[in-house]
């Protein structure tokens, strides 16, 4: 799931969006993760 999310996020232009990923490392099997996207500019 994380690989699919990363692939989709790679299409966001860096000058227009900031992306942060928070992932827990002490959870086994399917650890939760949070993706935060900030739009920096209007008009795109």
pLDDT at residue number 32: 86
pLDDT at residue number 43: 63
pLDDT at residue number 44: 53
pLDDT at residue number 24: 86
**How far is 16 from 13, CA to CA, in rounded Å?**
6
Domain ranges of the chain: 2-39
Q: What is the DSSP string of 1-44?
A: -HHHHHHHHTTS-TTTEEEEEEE-SS--SS--EEEEEEE--S--
pLDDT, one tens digit per residue, over 1-44 is: 678 877 888 888 889 999 898 988 888 887 888 989 999 977 65
pLDDT at residue number 6: 77
């Amino acid at each position: 799931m994380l690989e699919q999310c990363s692939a989709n996020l790679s299409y966001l232009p860096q000058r227009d969006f900031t992306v942060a990923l928070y992932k827990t490392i002490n959870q086994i099997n399917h650890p939760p993760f949070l993706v935060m996207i900030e739009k920096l500019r209007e008009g795109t």
